[in-house]
Homo-oligomer: A and B are copies of this chain.
Amino acid sequence: MARKSDPAKRDNIIGAAIRAFAQKGYTATRIIDVARMAGIGKGTVYEYFSSKEDLFFCVFQTVMQESEAQMKAVAASPAGSVARRLEVMGDALMRTWLDKLELYSLVMEFWSAASAASSRQRFKSTFQNAYRGFRGTVAALIEEGMHSGEFSPSCRPVEIASGLIGMWDALLLQAWTDSTFDALAASRVCLEVMLQGMHRLEVKPKEPI
Please report the C-alpha to C-alpha distance between residue A28 and residue B116 in the assembled complex, in whole angstroms.
7
A89, chain B: closest CB distance, angstroms: 11
| Chain B residues positioned under 8 Å from A114 (CB to CB) | 108, 177
Residue picked from A25, A158, A165, most chain B C-beta under 10 Å = A25
Per assembly, the copies of the chain total 4
B188 touches A197 (CB 8 A): no
- Does A192 reach chain B (CB closer than 8 Å)? yes
Please report the C-alpha to C-alpha distance between residue A25 and residue B27 in the assembled complex, in whole angstroms.
11
B209 touches A87 (CB 8 A): yes
Mark out the residues of chain A between 160 and 191 whose CB falls within 8 Å of any chain B CB in the assembled complex: 160, 162-167, 169-171, 173-174, 176-178, 181, 185-190
Residue picked from A112, A124, A181, A185, most chain B C-beta under 10 Å = A112
Q: Per a CB cutoff under 8 Å, which of B26, B28, B108, B196 touches A201?
A: B196
Q: What is the number of residues of chain A that contact chain B, defined by CB distance less than 8 Å?
A: 62
- Does A69 reach chain B (CB closer than 8 Å)? no
Please report the C-alpha to C-alpha distance between residue A158 and residue B189 in the assembled complex, in whole angstroms.
10
- Does A195 reach chain B (CB closer than 8 Å)? yes
A57, chain B: closest CB distance, angstroms: 15
A117 touches B25 (CB 8 A): yes
Residue picked from A91, A163, A165, most chain B C-beta under 10 Å = A163
> What residues of chain A have their CB less than 8 Å away from a CB belonging to chain B?
24-28, 87-88, 91, 104-105, 108-109, 111-112, 114-117, 124, 127-128, 131-132, 155-156, 158-160, 162-167, 169-171, 173-174, 176-178, 181, 185-190, 192-202, 206, 209
Known: A108-B112, A162-B174, A164-B190; 20 extra A-B contacts, CB below 8 A, are: A25-B115, A27-B27, A28-B117, A91-B209, A105-B112, A108-B108, A108-B111, A109-B112, A124-B177, A127-B177, A159-B189, A162-B181, A163-B171, A163-B193, A164-B167, A166-B170, A166-B171, A166-B173, A167-B170, A193-B194
